[in-house]
């Protein structure tokens, strides 16, 4: 009998994609769960792909059938987690999943406003073994949300003032998640705050980008209103615009400045720095690409 696969929610996304890559490099059997399976089957030879829409409970039973463990992430567009993410947890537990790794967010235990808090609470109530990963601010915001500003306008435009940020590399999160999913021994019930190894300002990030790209990239501190307008002009829905603006203003106060040694301890090496992330992705910010 073949081993039961690990389910990976959000497998086309940044965190889920990193978890998928790490599990595959460890040769752990995986079922990638996506809304549109064609998004993965075309480029991932030999990968088991299942359909999951967290807003459509009729997709849950097939998605979880026969699976062993679950990697879970809350898609940014989903704010109401009760009928979506938490209902999916119930389906997975009902199907016999024996361990869940949740990509949560730093501070989710104390912050009732973030949806992750309600998922964490639900996991505890569901009685399933689980591990909570609570990452800080993603370095991959540079390759995702900030990419076009850097690429076309040579600027970082966020309302973060001179706040320091302990950027964490999503690939490191993927490695830790895969490690726990492969063997949860010693991680059951644990909650890990995960940050990068150093805290830098956006001026320092701009200097690193300038060096790596060979052209000047500047940090332009945005006002709250200016940033919200910028996100809306980029097509972000209103709710996510408000969430992103509040999160970035929190950076001014140092909300993401604390460096936590846990990630390095779990990886057994120094976590990647924001300079590493920049060096590995320079092609994404070339205007011509």
Binding site for ligand NAP (CB under 6 A): 10-16, 34-35, 39, 52-55, 73-77, 103, 105, 135, 137-138, 141
Strand ranges for 137-211 from DSSP E:
155-158, 191-194
Which one, 48 or 53, has the nearer CB to ligand NAP? 53
Q: Which residues pair with 272 in a beta bridge?
A: none
Chain position carrying tokens 């492969």: 182
Chain position carrying tokens 């924001």: 274
Residue 91, token pair as written in the block: 């389906």
To the nearest whole angstrom, how small is the minimum distance from the Cβ of residue 194 to ligand NAP?
9
To the nearest whole angstrom, how small is the minimum distance from the Cβ of residue 34 to ligand NAP?
5
Which one, 105 or 208, has the nearer CB to ligand NAP? 105
Which one, 16 or 184, has the nearer CB to ligand NAP? 16
Nearest by Cα to 15 from 177, 199, 142: 177
Which one, 53 or 109, has the nearer CB to ligand NAP? 53
Helix or strand or coil: residue 221?
strand
To the nearest whole angstrom, how small is the minimum distance from the Cβ of residue 89 to ligand NAP?
13
> Which residue's beta carbon is nearest to the bound ligand NAP?
13
Which one, 105 or 222, has the nearer CB to ligand NAP? 105
d(CA 257, CA 286): 29
Report yes or no: 8 and 71 within 8 Å, Cβ to Cβ: yes
Which one, 206 or 256, has the nearer CB to ligand NAP? 256
To the nearest whole angstrom, how small is the minimum distance from the Cβ of residue 55 to ligand NAP?
5
Residues with Cβ within 8 Å of 118's Cβ and at least 6 positions away in sequence, in order, are: 81, 82, 86
HEC assignment per residue over 64-81 = HCCCCEEEEECCCCCCCC
Residues with Cβ within 8 Å of 94's Cβ and at least 6 positions away in sequence, in order, are: 64
To the nearest whole angstrom, how small is the minimum distance from the Cβ of residue 103 to ligand NAP?
6
To the nearest whole angstrom, how small is the minimum distance from the Cβ of residue 171 to ligand NAP?
12
Which one, 18 or 208, has the nearer CB to ligand NAP? 18
d(CA 262, CA 195): 8
Neighbour tally for 107: CB within 10 Å: 16
DSSP one-letter string for 176-197? HHHHHHH--TTTTT-EEEE--S
Nearest by Cα to 149 from 82, 202, 94, 192: 202
Which one, 61 or 215, has the nearer CB to ligand NAP? 61
To the nearest whole angstrom, how small is the minimum distance from the Cβ of residue 88 to ligand NAP?
9
Helix or strand or coil: residue 231?
helix
């Amino acid at each position: 009998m073949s081993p039961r696969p690990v389910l990976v929610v959000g497998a086309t996304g940044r965190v889920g994609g990193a978890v998928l890559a790490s599990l595959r490099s460890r040769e752990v059997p995986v079922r990638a769960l996506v809304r549109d399976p064609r998004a993965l089957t075309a480029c991932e030879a030999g990968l088991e792909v299942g359909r999951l829409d967290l807003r459509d409970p009729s997709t849950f039973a097939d998605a979880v059938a026969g699976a062993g463990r679950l990697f879970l992430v809350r898609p940014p567009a989903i704010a109401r987690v009760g009928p979506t993410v938490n209902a999916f947890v119930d389906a997975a537990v009902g199907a016999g999943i024996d361990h869940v790794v949740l990509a949560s967010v730093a501070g989710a235990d104390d912050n009732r406003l973030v949806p992750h808090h309600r998922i964490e609470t639900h996991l505890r109530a569901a009685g399933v073994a689980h591990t909570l990963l609570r990452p800080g601010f993603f370095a991959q915001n540079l390759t995702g949300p900030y990419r076009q500003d850097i690429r076309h306008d040579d600027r970082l435009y966020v309302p973060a003032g001179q706040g320091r940020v302990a950027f964490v590399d999503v690939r490191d999160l993927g490695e830790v998640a895969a490690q726990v999913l492969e063997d949860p021994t010693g991680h059951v019930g644990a909650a890990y705050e995960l940050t990068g190894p150093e805290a830098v300002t956006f001026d320092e990030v701009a200097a690193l980008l300038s060096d790596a790209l060979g052209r000047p990239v500047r940090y332009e501190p945005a006002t709250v209103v200016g940033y919200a307008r910028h996100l809306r002009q980029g097509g972000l829905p209103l709710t996510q615009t408000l969430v992103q603006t509040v999160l970035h203003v929190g950076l001014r106060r140092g909300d993401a400045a604390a460096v936590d040694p846990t990630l390095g301890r779990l990886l057994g090496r120094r976590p990647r720095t924001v300079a590493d992330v920049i060096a590995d992705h320079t092609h994404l910010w070339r205007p011509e690409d």
